[in-house]
A and B are shown apart, each in its own frame.
Chain A
Amino acid sequence: MTTTSPETSRALKRRPLSPLRLLESYALLILTALVFLFFSVNPTSANTFPTIANLNVILGSQAVVSLIALAALFPLVSGYFDFSLGATAAAAQVMSAGLMANAGAPLWAAVVVPILVGAAVGFVNGLFVTVFHMSPFVTTLGMATLIAGSIQWYTGGQTIIIGIDPAITRFGSSRMAGLPTVVFVVLGVAVIAWYFLTHTPYGRSLYAVGSNASSARLVGIRVERNVWWSFVVAGAIAGLAGVMQLSRLGSATADSGNGLLFPALAAVFLGATAIKPGFFNVVGTIIGAVFVSISVSGLTLSGASGWASPVFNGVALLAAVGLSTYLGRRKKRG
């Protein structure tokens, strides 16, 4: 081994980020804080926005969006879209409710079975995309439509509200350390996702596939198999998101799940502009989800009409995709 020159020993220490890069990495976090401040002092929302009750609503509602965002993260890291995650979550919600209300299933089954079914949907998506080389875009969009239609058929357009085990709704409205318990579920999933994506060969291989699938294959990565798994994991997390949604709302109704999917996608893409700019990452995704929830809640409490929330989600999604694409391109150029 050669002796390390002073130059290399300096390089061994991670070079401190330049102030501009630092600002870039934390811009979303700062923006989130600014939006929070704005709605706290803004006269039309100052009375209702910064209250404990409202903050709990924000945190609770962002929990489901965050879970779906974390689900979408896995295929996205390897460069694949999954549009069926919102519908999968909606199906899991209805299935969980239906199992308890119509089939008399025990609570554990009503929690576990929808998660497994979510994973099965991901398995089929992954099969189509990796083995049959079908376009992920159209495949998952078709799957989403199929699932939404099946939910319609199963519920007959009715809302399932009677026969749901009160334990699950109690969990959904419970608190731990002053915060909604579901927030801790999200944090748990986020920590596991972070561990898998950054500290296992599997997660690292997904980033490699997302960077250059052909190179990844030639360093011995089983590209198809790993991407397939990313769809399965995404489906399972979306299933969990559906169960959480049921626990928070106490009822399940026929829904396409798109109302959940698009804020989640906005969160993932916003997340790719933060912490590790140009790459999808867990911490950025969570910040993105909080940002979206705070902004939507603030807008609503400021008296904006019902159209404000989808308009905001759309704008946020476009801005996020634009920014993350720009950052990614700049990275490639070096």
Chain B
Amino acid sequence: MAVSPPRGTAAAGDTPAAAGGSGAIALELHGVDKHFGGTRALDGASLTVRSGKVHALLGGNGSGKSTTIKILAGVYSADSGSLSIFGQEHPLSSYTSTVAQHAGLRFVHQDLGLFEELSIEENFALDAGYPRLPGGGIHWKALHERVARLLAEYELEVDPRVPIRALRPSDRTMVAIARALQDQEGTDRILVLDEPTATLALHESELLLEKVRRRADRGQTVVIVSHRLQEVLSVADDFTIFRDGRVVGVLTDAQPTEDELVEIMAGGAVSALRPTGSTTHSTGEPMLQIDGLYGGPLRGVDLTVHRGEIVGVAGLVGSGRSSLLKAIFGAVTPTSGTFTLAGEPYAPRHIDQAMEAGVAMVPEDRGRDGVFADLAVAENLAASVLRESWIRGWMSRSRERRTALALIDRFRIKVGGPDALFSSMSGGNQQKAIIARWLQRSPGLLLLDEPTQGVDVMSRSDIYALIRDAARDGCAVLVASSDMSELHALADRIVFLRSGRIGAEVSAVGLESDDLVRMVLKDPTLSITLPDFDTKRARP
């Protein structure tokens, strides 16, 4: 086992370790830098993928592994660096998705891009074209035979004529893989799997990875990105580990343990954002009590949040973080369970009732669920207080603008003025404005879903300060985040959602951020509760 030292960017590039092994290098990325504005997403990153092997890319959120994949896919263009695929140099300055396709890279993303209602064979044909009859019509027989042959090759015992939605989840992913590789001749293809198991239940992902492993044993080169370490360990030969935009470890033909990987991944994880002198403002007086909450992915959540306390909700994708917040906000109705808010029974059937009770929520997807992009900043801020601003049968525009100005001042939002379009602001300022929209209501309970997604570092610390101020004023705060350093910086107490219930609970004081990363990554159950095969099928 060859572990290159941390900061091993150079080492990763010029160790020809692979050359000694089973032969050729399929892909080599060297010294890649990528900046987004002022932030450096990749710093001299390198990647060497051996032909016919499964290569895993590992790292936490924002470590640079997704950026690397996107550069390989031609979605982002690298600032500098070099790339060769099957021995051929591809200048990164003119590298596009078309070049990637021609060079032999095939991507299967978490969103498989399949047409659920169409048959398997049509899904293949829409990608590669329909075989034609001499008259111009579709040669269904030829298509059917070709797809049946491909499916057999990929160990899929299904009729090519059944629709995608009739397949079990792992088979859908396998169909997407087969489709991506359908034009393969020989072994000149590199299959890149980006979080292929993120939405699969445990046994489904095992089935899938076994098949992937068998493809690799027959010579298929695979690059796989996954958060689930145990799975990766079972399937990968080589590992490249990212942290803070750098490659911090390269393992070739290795059999590392989970702890070793976590150690390299967490390393000296960032704790710079931890506000100095942070003390809990919790009064110990319960603000929100949840008892036996069921609904969607939630399978019996019990939780108490106190006044002035910031509670972090951690968990993998699909663990029910967002569903929990939405249920509290009345955006989805739980099947069973009770809430107690400030000592009173609380069962919101609509969001306006939750707002009336003093609950506020900043949604996860700002662009989709938060903003009115074509309206002015003042109108966006006023959206949460429409009824309160209706005074004597009138909505005063000048008062609305005065309120907006006060909020812009108080929350230090950088914007041209209250009349500026909301979309004219940067992501960080948009997020501050959304938080301001809710904090002007002086909520008793503030729910935040991924509060700093797509927010730059400076705005991030501003937003943390805003949240802490709200807690100091007695607001109970529940933050759901996939970013462990964020929960570490912000929360007084962190609960881990696993299989739809609270699996563990830790006090953030005294813990380091990488301890949290370990706790999430080492999720012992690994089971993800998402709409299963059967429930999906019931859909019309």
Contact = CB atoms under 8 A, between A and B. Distances in A.
Interface of A: 1-2, 4-5, 8, 11-12, 14-15, 198-201, 204-205, 207-208, 211-212, 214-222, 278, 328, 331-334
Contacts of A221: 352, 383, 386
B401 A212 contact: no
Contact of A12 (B352, B368, B371, B401): B401
Contacts of B402: 12
Given A14-B401, A204-B382, A215-B368, 8 more contacts: A11-B418, A211-B372, A218-B331, A219-B355, A219-B437, A220-B350, A220-B352, A222-B352
B410 interface: yes
A201 B387 CA distance: 6
Nearest to B354: A220
B409 A211 contact: no
Contacts of B372: 208, 211-212, 215-216
30 contacts: A4-B409, A5-B409, A12-B402, A12-B405, A15-B419, A200-B393, A201-B389, A204-B383, A204-B386, A207-B375, A211-B373, A211-B374, A212-B368, A212-B371, A212-B372, A214-B368, A215-B369, A215-B370, A218-B351, A218-B361, A218-B370, A219-B383, A219-B384, A220-B352, A220-B355, A221-B352, A221-B383, A278-B374, A331-B374, A332-B374
A217 B424 CA distance: 23
Contact of A214 (B355, B369, B401, B424): B369
Would you list the 3 A-B pairs with minimal beta carbon distance, nearest first?
A: A220-B352, A201-B386, A11-B417
A201 B405 contact: no
Contact of B410 (A2, A5, A15): A2
B400 to A, nearest CB: 10
B409 A218 contact: no
A207 B374 CA distance: 10
B423 A334 contact: yes
A218 B387 CA distance: 15
A334 B373 CA distance: 9
Interface string B392-407: 0111000001100110
A217 B351 contact: yes
Contact of B350 (A11, A201, A222): A222
A334 B421 contact: yes
A258 B483 CA distance: 57
B390 interface: yes
Given A12-B401, A201-B390, A220 B409 contact: no
Nearest to B418: A11
Contact of A218 (B363, B379, B390, B417): B363
A179 B352 CA distance: 46
A200 B361 CA distance: 24
Contacts of A218: 329, 331, 351, 361, 363, 369-370
B370 A8 contact: no
Given A14-B419, A199-B394, A201-B387, A8 B409 contact: yes
B172 to A, nearest CB: 26
B408 interface: yes
Contact of B395 (A201, A220, A333): A201
Interface of B: 329, 331, 350-352, 354-355, 361, 363, 368-375, 379, 382-384, 386-387, 389-390, 393-395, 401-402, 405-406, 408-410, 416-419, 421, 423-424, 437
Contacts of A5: 409
Nearest to A209: B372
B486 to A, nearest CB: 22
- Majority SS at the chain A contact face: helix
A328 B374 contact: yes
A207 to B, nearest CB: 7
Contact of A2 (B370, B371, B409): B409
A14 B437 CA distance: 21
Contacts of B390: 200-201
A200 B405 CA distance: 22
Given A15-B419, A218-B369, A220-B352, A211 B405 contact: no
A12 B402 CA distance: 7
Nearest to A199: B395
Nearest to B409: A2
Contacts of A15: 417, 419
Most chain-B CB neighbours within 10 Å: which of A1, A11, A214, A222?
A11
A205 B386 contact: yes
Most chain A Cβ neighbours within 10 Å, of B387, B389, B402: B387
A64 to B, nearest CB: 30
Contacts of B351: 217-220
A211 B417 CA distance: 20
Contacts of B371: 212, 215
B479 to A, nearest CB: 17
A12 B423 CA distance: 20
A217 B355 CA distance: 12
Contacts of A4: 405, 409
A332 B423 contact: yes
B375 A208 contact: yes
A8 B406 CA distance: 9
A217 B329 CA distance: 11
A205 B375 CA distance: 12
A137 B423 CA distance: 29
A12 to B, nearest CB: 6
Given A205-B386, A211-B373, A199 B423 contact: no
Contacts of A207: 375, 379
Given A15-B417, A218-B369, A211 B375 contact: yes
A132 B375 CA distance: 29
Contacts of A211: 372-375
B41 to A, nearest CB: 25
Nearest to A211: B372
A207 B383 CA distance: 10
Nearest to A1: B406
